[in-house]
Amino acid sequence: MAGNEDVVAAIAGIEPGGALAGIVAGRADIMALTQKTHDGALTPDNPGGLSDAERAALAWRVAKINDHKGFEDHFEAMLEKAGAPEQAARLADIWFNGGSDARARAIIRHVDLVAHSPKDATRHDIELLQEAGLADADIVRLAELVAFVSYQIRVAAGLQLMQRFA
Amino acid sequence: MSRTVHDFTTDIPVWKPYVTPLDLAEASTEQLEALKVTPSNNKVSDYVLVLAHDVETLKHRTPLFNAVMYNRDGLSRAEREIGAVGASIVNRCIYCAAVHASRYNQLTKDEDVIAAIFANGVDAQIGPRLKAILTFAVKLSKCPSEANADDMAALVEVGLGKDEILDLILSVSLFGWANRLMHTLGEPVSA
């Protein structure tokens, strides 16, 4: 991934030299850290029990749940880049619930819950992941992925609303 | 016997994780670096030790969090806290709401605003500027976001500058992230 890429700026349509670019430049440190976290969540050096393809597919799923087309396209492209293996790619299918694959079923259930209605999450939801064989470290990785993408989508959505006033 | 806290409060609870926090004795160099563990600073919260399982996001998340909430200029610190509280109400993160509501009260020496928000949510009877901020925070925190051009226009109307609006977007979004960790990976129990 190119070091100077800024996914939020690209998706929110922030043009160099534009009015919004000037505002965002005042928080350049935050935008740079956002991009670094994106890379750490989607393409980490040590992926643990969640492959890059699975991460891209699940992030695409979160973008669909948030109804954000720009991020849907972005994560779909990342999934393609990761080779889009069938086992991982199907995690992005909003009509797929994991079928007979207990691990996929538990992951999909949890991603949908945390993305859409985190207020309803309980201890039991973590126990279901543990029963499906996920290590605690991978449960944290999964939570960070969904939580971070939820953040990034909101930053872009807010900036897109600002565009009309810039 | 401590018990789980289910109602919004400004009494900061204790956070109990559902997963096992990182054992510092088994931490990698990268994890220790992200945790800023030194012989003189070896007290790390369970929350941060849980997040240390994913050090590649934690190492950026900590400075990002501090920049969003405490950077100079732009939106006042107290109003950033209202952004955090708005998100935490939507996501029912009792712990985050308690920490940031009490910080708002400390910064402003005023407990009425938070009391009104805890009692009535977006219908709270608060001043127009805070009302516009709270409404935007709550709507951006929904999934999908429900914030629209009218909500943005309302922020401009009550006098927020563009730099302040950006800071509000960032603090609300940041708590969309924080709530999804704090409220799903553990629970608040009475101190």
Q: pLDDT tens digit string along B141-164?
A: 999 999 999 999 999 999 999 999
Least confident interval from A91-95, A154-158, B32-36, B167-171:
B32-36
Which residues is B186 bridged to in the sheet?
Answer: B17
Q: What is the pLDDT of residue B154?
A: 97
Nearest to A154 among B64, B92, B140 (CB): B140
Confirm if A114 and A143 have CB atoms less than 8 A apart.
yes
- Residue B34 class from Cβ within 10 Å (0-12 exposed, 13-18 middle, 19+ buried)? buried
Distance of alpha carbon B122 from the chain centroid: 17
Side-chain half-sphere exposure of A38, counting CA atoms within 13 A: 25
Residue scoring higher pLDDT (A5 or B119): B119
Q: What is the pLDDT of residue A5?
A: 87
> Which of A1, A8, A24, A27 is the best substitution to test chain B (most B C-beta atoms within 10 A)?
A27
Q: What is the pLDDT of residue A2?
A: 44
- pLDDT, tens digit, 9 for 90 and up, residues B94-139: 999 999 999 999 999 999 999 999 999 999 999 999 999 999 999 9
B57 neighbourhood in chain A, CB within 8 Å: 37, 40-41, 144, 148
Give mean pLDDT, residues B9-22.
96
Contact B181 A152 (CB under 8 A): no
Residue A4 has pLDDT above 90, yes or no: no
- Reported as a pLDDT band with limits 50, 70 and 90, residue B39 is low
Contact A154 B187 (CB under 8 A): no
Rounded to a whole number of angstroms, the distance from the CA of A84 to the nearest CA of chain B is 23
Percent of chain A with pLDDT over 70: 97
- Reported as a pLDDT band with limits 50, 70 and 90, residue A1 is very low
Residue A54 has pLDDT above 70, yes or no: yes
Residue B41 has pLDDT above 80, yes or no: no
Alpha helix (H) ranges present in A15-135? 19-25, 28-42, 52-65, 69-81, 86-89, 102-116, 123-131
Cα separation, A160 vs A12, whole angstroms: 5
- Only one residue has tokens 């928000």, namely B117
Percent of chain B with pLDDT over 90: 92
Percent of chain A with pLDDT over 90: 93
Greatest alpha-carbon span in chain A: 52
Residues 39-78 of A with CB under 8 A from B: 40-41, 44-46, 48, 65-68
Cα separation, A139 vs B11, whole angstroms: 29
Distance of alpha carbon A65 from the chain centroid: 11
The phi, psi pair for A62, rounded to 5°, reads -65, -40
| Element spanning B132, H or E | helix B128-141
A19 neighbourhood in chain B, CB within 8 Å: 162
- Reported as a pLDDT band with limits 50, 70 and 90, residue B63 is very high
Give mean pLDDT, residues A69-73.
98
Which residues is A98 bridged to in the sheet?
Answer: none
Confirm if B63 and B152 have CB atoms less than 8 A apart.
no
Contact A154 B90 (CB under 8 A): no
Residue scoring higher pLDDT (A2 or B37): B37
Rounded to a whole number of angstroms, the distance from the CA of B39 to the nearest CA of chain A is 25
Give mean pLDDT, residues A133-160.
98
**Does residue A101 sit at the B interface (CB-CB below 8 Å)?**
no
- Reported as a pLDDT band with limits 50, 70 and 90, residue B1 is low
What does the mean pLDDT of chain B come to? Answer: 95
A65 neighbourhood in chain B, CB within 8 Å: 143-144
Sign of CA dihedral B180, B186, B190, B191: negative
Give mean pLDDT, residues B20-46.
87
Residues 6-35 of B with CB under 8 A from A: 18-20
Greatest alpha-carbon span in chain B: 54
